[in-house]
Homo-oligomer: A and B are copies of this chain.
Amino acid sequence: VTSKEPRVGESMGAVTLVGGGPGDPGLVTVAGREAIAAADVILTDRLVPRAALEWARPDAEIIDVSKSPGGRSTDQDEINRLLIEHAKEGRDVVRLKGGDSFVFGRGGEELLACADAGIDASVIPGVSSAIAVPAIAGIPVTHRGLSQAVTIVSGHVAPGHPDSTVDWAALARAGSTIVVLMGVRTLEAIADALLAGGLDPRTPAAVVADGTLPSQLAVRADLAGIAQAASSADVSPPAVTVIGDVTGLGLIS
């Protein structure tokens, strides 16, 4: 992949945040695909469908800013700086993320950084893994008579951690399906917090790893046993955890 020369004398480029969906390239949107195909520069992540990058122009510059858990990563300030720098050089920049840019995707921070720098920025929403991964595993996150709400919550910060803004005991009582993203490492603490909040230990739960991909793996147990079951199955990120009666519908075995 070669870099395109800045178009000297042209006006500033723009930044488009594109949600790349949960992994299957068919779950990128029509508008997202068009933005990828038109971009001069694409800043991409680990969880983006690889096949979607083949839609890029041969002369587009593709920059991998993957943030792998615990590994080397490009920090958010550096990503913001790259978005702005390339747009100021007159390039149209796509920021391609897995899932949706605004569901724990830090899209809001990127929009604010662009606004501060005077760069035009827009958003093409994506299919969120929080809804689509359960769907492909046969779990509807809402279902008439079972669930009139779904809460999508980050497991990145464990319950009780000083940085946590989630009241897990209240969540246990809210009556919504609970979908946890980035919660493999903290799953036991999350299950414990929900149990302590009064959620029935027999509540059906599932952990779906590599959702929508050929390597998809689903582990099912009740809330009391889900952390042990996921651990025994060696579930590793990315994974989506669903807790609630909808998990027991068994639409797909």
Q: Which one of A6-14, A21-29, A65-73 is at the B interface?
A: A21-29
A204-253 residues at the B interface, CB under 8 angstroms:
246, 249, 251
Shortest Cβ distance from A143 into B: residue: B108
CB-CB under 8 A from A100, the residues of chain B are 127, 131-132, 135
Which B residues lie within 8 Å of A63 (CB)? none
What separation, in Å, do the CA atoms of A29 and B28 have in the docked complex?
A: 5
Contacts of A104 in B (CB 8 A): 142, 148
Interface size of A in residues (CB-CB distance below 8 Å): 67
A102 partner residues in chain B, CB cutoff 8 A: 131, 134-135, 140-143
Q: Which residues of chain A from 157 to 173 have a CB within 8 Å of any chain B CB? A: 157, 164-167, 170-173
Question: Is the beta-carbon distance between A166 and B148 smaller than 8 angstroms?
Answer: yes
| A136 proximal to B (CB < 8 A) | yes
Cβ of A134: which chain B residues have Cβ within 8 Å of it? 102
User: Which residues on the B side are within 8 Å of A143 (C-beta)?
Assistant: 102, 108-109
Whether the Cβ atoms of A141 and B31 lie closer than 8 Å is: no
Q: Which of A79-87, A89-97, A118-126 contacts B (4 or more CB under 8 A)?
A: A118-126
Question: Contact partner of A26 among B29, B127, B128, B144, CB < 8 A?
Answer: B29
> Any chain B CB within 8 A of the CB of A33?
yes
Chain B's closest residue to A212 (CB) is B125
Chain B nearest CB from A79 CB (Å) reads: 13
CB of A38 within 8 A of chain B? no
Assuming the contacts A141-B102, A142-B104, A166-B174, asked whether A115 and B25 have C-beta atoms less than 8 A apart, the reply is: no
**Cβ-based interface call for A187 (8 A):** no
Q: Are B33 and A24 in contact (CB under 8 A)?
A: no
Contact A165 B175 (CB under 8 A): yes
Q: Can you list 7 contacts pairing A with B, beta carbon distance less than 8 Å?
A: A27-B124, A103-B141, A104-B142, A111-B251, A166-B174, A167-B174, A170-B175
Chain A residues close to B by CB (< 8 Å): 19, 21-22, 24-31, 33-34, 100-104, 106-109, 111-112, 115, 123-128, 131-132, 134-136, 138, 140-144, 146-154, 156-157, 164-167, 170-176, 246, 249, 251
